[in-house]
Structure 1
Amino acid sequence: LDVVRSTFGDPTVNSRQRTEAARLQQPQDPRPSGVLIDLARREVHLDGESLNLTFKEFELLNYLVENGTRTVGRDELLEGLWRNAEEVPNERTIDVHIRRLRSKLGRLANTVRTVRGQGYRFYEHPEVVVWAAPEYSI
């Protein structure tokens, strides 16, 4: 059809061809940048790559995200994350989990901030996207 139109001088043929050429030059799957925290699937992605967080690391990140920009103390984290544990670990356990979580977050490690003498806080960085679980109603 474009051959017939171009033969008779239809100007839309050239614009369609240019549009198609421009579309083909664009990357088909641009890699997202930043951190995506998918609470429903319990997944965290950094720059399109899945992070292998342990169960407790994800729980810790989730707890901080749910508390927004409020500072969460170590005691509260221990109570919230190990409430059903037979043996509750000491406060240094939280520090170790935070350190490991930050190392996995790489360049966006500063999204988990230390508030000296008080605890930790989630920083809503522009490159961090949180997808919450959908709410269902009956």
Structure 2
Amino acid sequence: VVDSEPRASQSAGVLIDLSRREVLLDGDVLNLTYKEFELLNYLVENGARTVGRGELIGNLWSGAEDVPNERTIDVHIRRLRSKLGRLANTVRTVRGQGYRFYDHPEVVVWAAPEYSI
């Protein structure tokens, strides 16, 4: 669900603010690394489908000197999930295929009107 404006009352659950590049869990800003945010953002943008590790590497590490192996993606996913706490199950593993973002009633994705996803 993509809202056109953030909810002032949004204190429970996860708010993913794409324009500010912030993720809040129950009102507290999560200390995500740059890559963790990029990973979450990519999964949210492609929420209707499963994203393979190779695609994640190709899109998030394109042009990087040190291209990670597929297990590095697993480590980033594990760290991201631990930071998402009780809503970690919104980022799910699809066995043998990759990862997928699943909507949850407590997860709100906010993008500024000029920001299109």
Question: Shared fold (TM-score greater than 0.5)?
Answer: yes
Measured after TM superposition, the shift of residue 84 of structure 1 is 1.4
Q: Which has the higher strand share?
A: 2
Name the counterpart of 1:52.
Answer: 31
Name the counterpart of 1:134.
Answer: 113
The 1:40/1:31 distance shift into structure 2, 3 A limit, reads closer
Aligned residues with identical type, % of pairs: 82
Q: Which has the higher helix share?
A: 1
Work out the CA distance in 1 between the residues paired with 2:95 and 2:62: 24
Match of 1:118 among 97, 105, 109: 97
Corresponding letter in the other structure for 1:98: I
Measured after TM superposition, the shift of residue 34 of structure 1 is 0.3
State how many pairs are aligned.
Answer: 108
Bigger-Rg structure (1/2)? 1
Gaps of 5+ in 1: 1-28
Gaps of 5+ in 2: 1-7
Higher relative contact order, chain-length normalized (CA < 8 Å, sep 6+): 2
Work out the CA distance in 1 between the residues paired with 2:10 and 2:17: 17
Match of 2:69 among 76, 90, 105: 90
Work out the CA distance in 1 between the residues paired with 2:55 and 2:103: 21
